[in-house]
Amino acid sequence: MIEPENFFVDYFSKIDTAVNSVNTILLKQFVDLLIKTKNSKNKVIIVGNGGSSSIASHFTIDCINAAGIKAINFNEPALITCFSNDYGYENWISKALDCYADPGDVLILISSSGQSKNMLVGVNKAQSLDIDIVTLTGFSNDNPLKKLGDINLWVDSNKYNIVEMTHNIWLLSAVDYFIMNNKHK
């Protein structure tokens, strides 16, 4: 059995490395996209599966309440199960975009593996609707979702909790940077 001290030191070192591996140029481009979205009165749509849906919820609330950016997420169980039942799980995000997305919106997709079929189908729909796409992925650097976004934030880890914690920190840091630089506007 590994000693708790050793486990936690190693664990937090991995999180620190992952968080600090961010491409700050891409993160700044993401913030610029948030600014553009707010100024054009468009909205941010954010989607995640599993634990990433909780990250999507947190980011949505911070966008709305703290940054004044219109934002929604697709975490309503009735929406997900209805569209999954009627159109297949891989198509539910695409169908939700049909109902909620407008040209000029931003779609943020969070998938630790970058392999989620519903996200990949959603990207194709977003591209057809003239929507900017931001992906947050981990695991393989050449995952399919990362190849399809306009801005792609990738974590070099194959551990779900490391990837998800890093995504959460990056997203919330972008909101905090946005707030700090736009509080007088």
pLDDT, tens digit (0-9, with 9 covering 90-100), for 89-142 = 999 999 999 999 999 999 999 999 999 999 999 999 999 999 999 999 999 999
The band of 62, judged by pLDDT with boundaries at 50, 70 and 90, is very high
Averaged over 6-29, what is the pLDDT? 96
The second-level CATH assignment, the architecture, of 4-182 is 3-Layer(aba) Sandwich (3.40)
What is the value of pTM for the model shown?
0.95
- Answer yes or no: are the C-beta atoms of 107 and 97 closer than 8 Å: yes
Residue 184 predicted with pLDDT over 70:
no
Task: Enumerate the domain spans of the chain.
Answer: 4-182
The Cα angle at residue 178 between residues 172 and 182, in degrees rounded to 5: 150
Helix axis angle, 160-182 relative to 24-39, nearest 10°?
50
The band of 182, judged by pLDDT with boundaries at 50, 70 and 90, is confident
- What integer best gives the mean pLDDT of the chain? 96
Averaged over 14-43, what is the pLDDT? 97
What sign does the CA torsion over 81, 164, 124, 100 have? positive
